[in-house]
Chains A and B, each alone.
Chain A
Amino acid sequence: MSGLAMVPSWRRMVAGAVALFFLAGTAIAAPKGQAPKAKASPVAGLPEDKALALGERMYREGLLPNGEPMESVVSGDIPVPGTSFTCVSCHVRSGLGSLEGGVVTLPTNGFKLGQTRYWKYPNLLPEERKDLHVLTPQARPAYTDETLAHALRTGIDPSGRELNPVMPRYYLKDEDMAILVRYLWSLSTQISPGADATTIRFATIITDEVSQDDQDAMLVPLNNYVAWHNTHSNGMGNRMYMSIGGKEMSGSYRKLSLSVWRLKGSPDSWERQLETYLAKDPVFALLGGLSSGEWKPIHTFCENQKLPCLFPITDLPVISESDWYTQYFSKGYYQEGQAAARYLHGLDDPTSASRILQVIQDGPEGRDLAAGFRETWKELGQGAVKELRLAKGESLQATTLRTLLQQEKPTTLLLWHGAKAFAALEGLADQAERPGVVFLSSRLLGAETYGIPEKARPFTWITYPYRAPEDEPKYSRYANSLLKGLPKHKPETRISTRTYAMLQLFQAALMEMDRNTYRDNFFDRIGMQRDYVLPDYLRLSFGPGQRYASKGCFIMQLSSGSEPKLVRKSDWVIH
């Protein structure tokens, strides 16, 4: 693959810059590693760490130190409890702010609060303004503890100007205010490890069972992207940024570096290996990653270290509503089980939904498929689900299935099993009492999906988590063409296309992050991306805290004949 093939067009560059430039008004100063003056004395009679933990809870959860909701008023006279929304809702986790619907939420991180803010080019540091001969009036002087408390209570900034009425005016006692103010001073003050004024360091993780071909399918496009990005000198890169964003963007370009962290042996030992890697090579974030096993040990490491991991290529993610540091493409197998539940629940005829049986092949794939169905089924208010878990290494036999169906008489059978169950499935066709519907997972079956026995196809529904096959080529052609020169490239693994998609989002977030290289800011910028239409998944959508970008799945059936095709039975199932 040619590295130049990854060069974004001017159109794409400008589009990225538009988003970046929008955000320029909200945040962006060049910290260059320096921290504001230290504020280490006790606050409100509390030790520093205790005060910061309470301040973080106020910022993120809207709860006062006594556990009650913070109270405020917004838009002049609308009372708002902190549990409805609070600082993090608009200023986001890093404190760098946001832009949405024409409303700029200004930064509230310690570094920016401690700087004079200017109307024009608020990104530039005083020495940069001097160098670039930018002599424009200031919007406000640096905040102090007192002026910050005054702004939070009254909405009046240190220059005397009134903030937008959408900024809540908070009713806070002096000691509670002191805790929140202390937290704000601590928020995003020093750029994160792995980043400096010239380079941002990244790593990707590969576990030792991954084949060389699959490694290449991810590493070739990833390395080519980094090489292309680094072809610019720093001066050239900055001029490129400036040509799009003007002086505001000067000094934003950083070189990239990419390490490969290879994990060996038992997953129990991965955390220790990862700690060793991170200690030797403190990177800013992880890009992609490949493992055929469960991602949980790596996920947990990233949560513990507060280390972002962008789009690992895994179908066995951790399912969590609150974890923050891994952005996945989807919920993987779990999402297929979820889609089966949602689709069954939404049918006008409730017959199929009356008695459910899940037969679960041993292993994490079957476990996640079944959990996705079970948990969603419960959430939808449906009844109990019967389950049969096969023993390790056991395949479903026709006689076993027949007996089971006679006992349970399910109206729907979820057969979370590989192709070895096809004989048992085929036997159902001639059985008088059989479930009206059998679900299979296309991800679990892989290419063998097309081998579903002819006689079983009329009652077999297939969960399919990607764009319909007939529509896919036009979306993935370009990404696949980048790997033309690679021997043994296998598009069906979707590794290179997912890497391509990851790089699209990485590039957008990198530009919008600008010089504010805080790890939390990196994922805050991911959370503010528009929806993307890229290879593989029908749509990738984002939002603060949204950690599974593709949220739907098709239900398909296989057509008859020796060269069958997948035929859509459903819309993109999202509810």
Chain B
Amino acid sequence: MTRSAWHIAGLMLGFSAMGLLAQAPPPIKRTVETYTVPEVTLVNQDGTKVKLKALLDSGEPVIVDFIFGTCTTICPVLSAGYANLQMKLPNQAAKVNLVSISIDPENDTPKVMRDYLKRYRAKPGWTFLTGKREDIDKVMVAFNAYIPNKMSHYPLTLIREPKTGKWIRIFGLMSSSEFVAECSKVGIL
């Protein structure tokens, strides 16, 4: 075996150890970031074209995550968080734009996205977006969330502060109370 192969094997051992520790809750990391939303046109669950910059920079409260329809672990929990947040906001749900951006655009057609939202009992105000792979890549890069392989993606929630336009970047899976607290901090609840 070459040295590089041993090096990779060593990395594998490290990842394996991480896997074994994964029964513990992953720590949540919170930062405040500035992002420039790319000028791309995506497609929502109704098949309608959506200019992402206009949607995200509208000045209204916006929360963004990256998911895909056949994801096995992270996305279901993120989406349960979105669904639960909408339930907690019966009168305001339509005023908070929840945006999920597909990282599997090949499979996530408008129909797949509609079915997905239906499973989560999504209310108006939750938009699932897909698009050309190049455009999806641009969005992931813009939010420092690029992953070349969808199976190695990570839980990320981005909350836009309506007043400053800055983004609260939360790495990890939040509980309902943590999610509500984060929304409250930026005044969108």
Contacts and interface: CB of A to CB of B under 8 A. Distances in A.
B22 A103 contact: yes
Contact of B154 (A101, A164, A545, A572): A101
A398 interface: no
Contact of B106 (A14, A243, A551): A551
Contacts of A119: 20
B47 interface: yes
B73 A98 contact: yes
Contact of B80 (A78, A99, A100, A545): A78
Given A75-B81, A75-B175, A546-B70, A100 B16 contact: no
Contacts of B76: 80, 84-85, 89-90
A10 B1 contact: yes
Interface stretch (B6-14, B31-39, B90-98): B6-14
Interface string A305-337: 000000000000000000000000000000000
Contacts of A10: 1-2, 5
Interface in B144-185: 149-155, 173-177
B132 A25 contact: no
Nearest to B116: A84
A387 interface: no
B29 to A, nearest CB: 13
B149 to A, nearest CB: 4
Interface in A158-202: 161-166
Contacts of B12: 17-18, 21-22, 245
A496 interface: no
A79 B81 CA distance: 9
Nearest to B25: A165
Contacts of A80: 76, 80
Contacts of A77: 175-177
B55 interface: no
Interface string B118-132: 011100000000111
B173 A166 contact: yes
Interface stretch (A211-219, A281-289, A536-544, A556-564): A536-544
A14 B23 contact: no
A543 to B, nearest CB: 3
A541 B106 contact: yes
B22 A75 contact: no
B71 interface: yes
Contacts of B150: 530-531, 543
B120 A84 contact: yes
B20 A101 contact: no
A381 interface: yes
Contacts of A272: none
Contact of B109 (A21, A102, A165, A574): A574
B99 interface: no
Contacts of A14: 5, 8-9
B44 to A, nearest CB: 11
Contacts of A528: 72, 151
Given A84-B121, A575-B109, A101 B47 contact: no
B174 A571 contact: no
A379 B149 CA distance: 29
Q: Which of A26, A84, A163 is packed against the most chain B CB atoms within 10 Å?
A: A84
Secondary structure at chain A's binding surface: helix, strand, loop or mixed?
loop
Interface in A372-386: 379-381
A169 to B, nearest CB: 13
Interface in A222-269: 243-246, 248
A76 B176 contact: yes
A248 B15 CA distance: 14
B140 to A, nearest CB: 14
A100 B130 contact: no
A543 B5 contact: no
Contact of B107 (A11, A103, A139, A543): A543
A443 interface: no
A104 interface: yes
A75 B72 contact: no
A396 interface: no
A574 B174 CA distance: 33
Residue of A26, A545, A575 ringed by the most chain B CB atoms within 10 A: A575
Given A22-B12, A119-B20, A100 B25 contact: no
B176 A102 contact: no
B109 A164 contact: no
A457 to B, nearest CB: 26
Contact of B47 (A25, A381, A529): A381
Contact of A101 (B79, B133, B155): B155
B104 interface: yes
Nearest to B153: A101
Nearest to B179: A78
Nearest to B2: A10
Contact of A575 (B79, B84, B130): B130
A29 to B, nearest CB: 15
Contacts of A571: 132
Contacts of B13: 21, 246
Contacts of B151: 100-101, 528-530
A380 B2 contact: no
Given A10-B2, A100-B74, A78 B81 contact: yes
Given A89-B72, A90-B73, A345-B47, 7 more contacts: A10-B2, A18-B11, A75-B176, A78-B80, A541-B106, A545-B70, A575-B110
Interface of B: 1-2, 5, 8-9, 11-13, 15-16, 18-20, 22-26, 43, 47, 68-74, 76-77, 79-81, 83-84, 104-107, 109-111, 119-121, 130-133, 149-155, 173-177
13 contacts: A18-B8, A22-B12, A75-B176, A76-B175, A78-B176, A81-B121, A85-B80, A89-B72, A100-B151, A101-B154, A166-B77, A246-B13, A530-B151
| A-B complex: 3 closest residue pairs judged by Cβ atoms | A25-B19, A543-B70, A85-B76
